[in-house]
Structure 1
Amino acid sequence: MTQVDPPSLQVQLRDGAARSKLAAELKGISVDQVLEVAARVERAPADAASRERREARENAGDAVGKAQLATLARMAATSRVEPSPESIVPPARATIKPGTARPAPAGGTQLAAPPRPTLDVNGFGEDLHQALSGSVQGYTMRMRRNGQTIYTLQWNWARRPSDGQRGWNPDRRMNIASVSKFITAVAMFDLLDRRNIDPATPIAQWLPAYWNLGPNADDITFEMLMTHSSGLANSGSTDFGTMRQMIAAGVTPNLPTSFTYENTNFGLQRILIATLGGYVGRNLNLGNTGMNDAIWNATTIAAYDDYVEKNVFAPAGVTNAGFGKNADIALAYAFNGGSGWNTGDLSWRAGSGGWHLSVDEILDVAGTFRYTDKIVSKAKAASAISSRYGLDGRWATNWGSVYHKNGIWSEQADCPAGQRQEQSLLLLMPDNMEMALLVNSPVGPGCTFLRGVVQQVLLNNIVEPNG
C-alpha cells in the first residue's frame, strides 16, 4: 500500500486548490470524513504483504472427518479450560422440529406432504458444543428459523480476566473477517438493483478514470467479482495500489473463470459502490498517482461505510457497527488461552473484511435480506443466494442446499504453537434457517478447520424420514 504520512496528506488537502478539487467530486461524504478515514488507515500496519497473509488459509478444504470430531470431543472431556461466569452449556433437549409442512393442494382430495429430511437442531447443537468446548478459547452460536431464535450456545471467554473479563454471548462483537464479503455482496446487489443494472454488466466504466485497463479487464463483471470468477488471482490484496496494478496487468480471456478465492474481488467492490453510488466522480485526479491512490483509498472506504450503514445495516436494525475494537469486543487467542490479540482498526480491509459484528447482527442482516423486502425483494435475494454472491459455496445435502461463508483472521498463514485467531461462519440453510458462529481462537492445537467441523456435525444430524 502507498503510505502517506497523515500530516503530509492533511497539509496537501488544506491547500485550497486540492481540497476544492476533491470537494467538487464528493457527494454524501465530506473532505473531513475522507481525512478521518485516511488517518485511521495510515495507522494500520505498514507491511501490507504480511497482513494479507493472515487470510491465506481462509478457503482451505473442508475435509474434517468423524475421527477428528471424536478427537475434539475427547479434548473437551479432559479440558482444563475454566468456563467464564457467562458461559452456558447446550440447553436441555427441547421439542424443536425444523421440518416445514407443505401446504396441501386446494380443492379435491387433500394429500399429505411427503416426508422429507430435516435437521435435528438439538443434536446439532449438542454435537457442536462437544466438538468446540475445550478445543477453543470461546465461542457463541445462534440459529434462527423464520427470523426467530431456535438454538443458542455460548462458551467461555471473549476476553479473558487479564484482558477485561468479558464472557461470550450472542450480542458480543468480534472481527468477522471475510463474512464481511457477504455484507459487501448484499450492498453491491442492492445498489445494482437500485440502478437497474444487471450483475452481468462489465465494471470498467465505474473504475477510477486514471486507472489503466489491462488485457480483458474490461470484460470483468460485477457478478464475476461477487463470485470470485473474475480471473484476478494470486494477490489476496485489498491494498488500493495493488488492486490498480492488478487491473492494469489484465486477466485471462476465458471469463468467467472457475471459483478462485481472491480478496481483491471484494476490495474492488468498495470502489464501485463509491462511484456507482454517486459518492465520488470517477474523473477525480489530483495529478500524482501516489496522492490519487491515498485519496481514492480513503474516499472509497468512507463511501462504502456510509452505503452499508444506510442501506444494509439500518434496514436490519444494526447500529453503530464499525471496523475497530472497544473494551467489549472479543479478542483473539490461542486455542488454550494466553494473552489476547487486539487486531485493531481494519478499515483498510473494507469490502473484503474487517466489520465487527455479533452473531445476532449477522443473522439480522441475513434474515432481513432473505425474508423481507427492506433491502431487495425476497425473490431477488433468493436469486442472489443461489448465485452464491458473497458466499464461498454450497453443500448439497439430502436436506437441501446449505450455502456457507467462512472467515479467518490469523497472525500467520500457517499454524504454529501459540497462533492467535478469530473465526466466523454463516450458514444459509433450508427450512428458512440460518446459523452464525464466532470463535476467538483456532480449533485445537492443529488448527482444525472450523467450517469443516461444522459441516461434519451438520451432516451427522440430518435425519431421514422414517430413519
Structure 2
Amino acid sequence: MSFDFEKFANAIENGFKGNCVGYAFVVSYKENWKVKRAGGQARTLINTPPLEMSTNIQFHTASVSKAITAVALLKVLYQREDVSLESSFYKFLPSHWQVHQSLRGITFQQLLNHTSGFRFSGGLDYAALKKDMAAGVKTADIGVREYQGENFAIMRLLIPDLAKYPVSKNAQGGTGIDILQAAEYAAYYIDYLQKELFTKAGLPKLKCEAEAFKTGMCYHFPHNNKAGTDFGNQVLVAGSKGWVMSAAELAKFFRTVHYTENILPSWLSNKMKNELLGYDQIGNTSEGIGFYWKNGGFPGSQNAGELNTLIIGYDNHVQVALIINSELAGNKGMVEIINAAHDDAYKMIKVNADDLERS
C-alpha cells in the first residue's frame, strides 16, 4: 500500500498538539501497527508521580468499552448453537427478576445497535438495571435507534449467563442474593473477556478499575493546576464503560478483531462494522473512503477532568486508536481531524498514481 503513514500521523498530531493536556494514538494497517505518537502529560506535577504521555499508559476507555463488550457478546453467541442475534435477550436475565412484557421480544441485535427501545435515565449498576427491566419500554420506541448505555450495561449480566458461568441462584430473590449476583456477574464478565478476547489478542490481564499512581489522570484544558481524576473503580457498572487500556492495547485489540480470526470469524467482525453492532457510525470521507468509528468520553463539565477516546477504521485497512486526557480545544473534533488527515494522505496516493500513469 503506497500510503505515507508518517505524513498521516504528522497531520493527526498537528491537530492535537497544543490543544489538550496529553494525547496518545496508534496508527495500524491490517494486523500490524505502523506509527505510534504521544505528546503532553499523562500525569502532571499536581498528581505525583508526573508522567509524560505515552501510548503504553492506561486510561479508562469510556464508551469505547461498548465496542469491546459487543465483540464479547458476538463471540459468546457464536459459541452457542441454540441462540442467535435474533433471539430474545430477556431469557438470560436473573431468574428472580420481574421482566416487563414489553421487553420480551427485544433481541440481542437490538441491544447491540441501540434499537431496543430503552429510554432509561437511571444508573448502570445491578439495582438500576433490575428496576429498568421491571419498568419496561414504550412499544413505539422499539426499533428506533437511540444511544443508551443500558443496552451494553445489561450485557455484563447476559454474557456470563450465555457462557454458562455458575452464577448463584435464588428463586426468592432478596437483597442478599442481589448483592452477591452483582459481584459475581461483574467478575464473570471480566473473566470471559480476558479469556476469550484479550488473551487471544495477546494482551495482558486487563481491569475495569484504575490503579493508583499508575493509571493516567484526566484534566481540564487549559490546565488549571488542579488535581485530575482517573475515574476510579467501574467494575460494578462495566459493559457500557469500564475497561482500562492504553492506546497501544486498544489498537492491538481492534486490529486483532478485524484483521485476524483469533477472536471472531471475518464475516462476523465485518457484520459488526457494517451493521453498527457496537459502533456509532459508518460513513465516507470527502474522498469517498468508507469508515466506521466508536468514541467515548467523560465530560469535564461533570468531572475533575475530561477524557476522550476513539477507535476509527477505514476501508483501506487503516485504523487509529486515540486517547486524549482533557478537553480538545479548537474548532475540529477527533473524527474530523483524523478524517482530514486521511483524505490528505489519500489525495497524495491519487496524485502519485496519476503521475505514474502519465510517465
Please report the TM-score for the alignment, with normalisation by the length of structure 1.
0.69
The equivalent residue for 1:406 is 295
Secondary structure of the corresponding residue to residue 154 of structure 2: helix
Choose which of 333, 344, 348 in structure 1 pairs with 2:236: 348
Distance 1:279 1:447 in 2: 48
Computed over aligned residues only, the root mean square deviation of the Cα atoms, in angstroms, reads 2.3
Matched, 1:284 2:172: no
Q: 1:400 to 1:243 in 2, by over 3 A?
A: same
How far did 1:256 drift? 4.6
Secondary structure of the corresponding residue to residue 219 of structure 2: strand
The equivalent residue for 2:95 is 209
**2:117/2:142 contact within 8 Å kept:** yes
Q: 1:287 to 1:213 in 2, by over 3 A?
A: closer
Secondary structure of the corresponding residue to residue 341 of structure 1: coil
Letter in 1 for 2:145: F
The equivalent residue for 1:229 is 115
Query: Which whole-Å deviations, capped at 9, do the CAs of 1:66-124 have from their partners, x for residues lacking one?
Result: xxxxxxxxxxxxxxxxxxxxxxxxxxxxxx833xxxxxxxxxxxxxxxxxxxxx64443
The equivalent residue for 2:105 is 219
Distance 1:434 1:255 in 2: 34
Letter in 1 for 2:248: D
Q: How many aligned positions are there? A: 345
Matched, 1:440 2:325: yes
**2:96/2:172 contact within 8 Å kept:** no
Matched, 1:181 2:66: yes
The equivalent residue for 1:132 is 16
**1:399/1:430 contact within 8 Å kept:** no
Matched, 1:172 2:57: yes
- The residue correspondences of 1:28-427 to structure 2 (distance < 5 A) are 97-98=2-3, 121-163=5-47, 164-196=49-81, 197-235=83-121, 237-254=123-140, 256-280=142-166, 284-285=169-170, 287-326=172-211, 327-337=213-223, 338=225, 339-397=227-285, 398-413=287-302, 420-427=305-312
Query: Which whole-Å deviations, capped at 9, do the CAs of 1:404-432 have from their partners, x for residues lacking one?
Result: 0101023534x9xxx61111100121122
Distance 1:228 1:175 in 2: 22
How far did 1:287 drift? 3.7
**1:140/1:439 contact within 8 Å kept:** yes
Larger Rg: 1 or 2?
1
Q: Mark the runs of 5 or more structure 1 residues left unpaired by the alignment.
A: 1-95, 99-119
Letter in 2 for 1:408: G
Among the aligned pairs, what percent are the same residue?
24
**1:286/1:292 contact within 8 Å kept:** no
Secondary structure of the corresponding residue to residue 350 of structure 2: coil
**2:218/2:306 contact within 8 Å kept:** yes
How far did 1:389 drift? 1.4
Distance 1:447 1:232 in 2: 33
Greater than 6 Å deviation, 4+ residue runs: none
Distance 2:54 2:42 in 1: 9
Please report the TM-score for the alignment, with normalisation by the length of structure 2.
0.88
